[in-house]
Amino acid sequence: MVATRTFSSQQCKTQILSCMLSLALLLTEVTLLHADKTSCQYDVFKPQVATCSDDIAPSITISTVRAEQKELNVTPVHSVNIAFKTATFGMGCFWGAESLFGGTQGILRTTVGYEGGSKDSPTYRSLGDHTEVLEIDYDPKTISFKQLLDLFWNNHEYGLTNPIKRQYMSLILYHDDEQKKIAEESIVEEQKKRVPEKIITEILPKGKFYPAEDYHQKYRLQGHKDLAETLNLDAKLLRTSYVATKLNGYLAGVGGVKQFKEEIDTLGLTPSQKEYCLYQVEQNEGMGLYC
């Protein structure tokens, strides 16, 4: 004979509620497990609270950085005493190009602006026949003009082989006969690689360069408002600062973590600034440059 057990109505209700609670807790754990796969641990009784193994993103506190700068006698490195040459390229939107070259070793300064046309004093809203260009000061002992051209050919946003309005056209403005010769030889070699496409880049002599408005300079860096403020950047330094040039590239993910760690101590950053920048480089490495 099979033994049986009789439950009262109240006992049945209690058993059912207990089972429902256990099931609810189990479903909560399963849901949270699948909702986040980054080793976050949740308290099932407080599902809004999560403890992750990843560090919380560091932030910049201006007062803390100011105290560090004073105590450690650290100042941002805005200029470097290195002999340089200058190259000027148009390769689409100049925001991405400035970050690309800024995060490249051997680049000392970058400035975005307008050139190649006939209009006096062009502005972004009244560009005339000018093109968005990037002026690059580089250390020829570290990187050659030909190496700059390799970056130029392989990192256009648009306009290299497809006609586009003059503002974003592909353009090389040579500063001397040597650059002209290297550019002309380079376009021949590059064309061979791109058949059947036709490269439509223009190679022209350097003319008058008009720096773009301040809000265009170091555009990626200026997105980090508090960090930019702690670098003491005025209108001139936005165009000429060494540390601003480098961070504008690194913060966008150019160069990568390893290279940034190699250069970080040359930039005049405080511990808080270093921590913040390193985190951003780690997060953005390999991300796209263009808008």
The residues annotated as belonging to the active site are 93
Instruction: Provide the 3-class DSSP secondary structure of residue 160.
Output: coil
CB contact burial 248-269 (16+ within 10 A = b; e otherwise) = bbbbbbbbeeebbeeebeebeb
What is the residue type of 15?
A: Q
Residue 210: strand pairing partners? 114
Q: CA-CA distance, 106 to 108, in Å (whole number)?
A: 6
Q: CA-CA distance, 165 to 207, in Å (whole number)?
A: 20
Q: CA-CA distance, 122 to 103, in Å (whole number)?
A: 28
Instruction: Provide the 3-class DSSP secondary structure of residue 65.
Output: helix
H or E stretch at 231: none
Distance of CA 218 to the CA centre of its chain: 10
CB 96 within 8 A of CB 157: yes
How many separate helices (H) and strands (E) can be counted in the chain? 11, 8
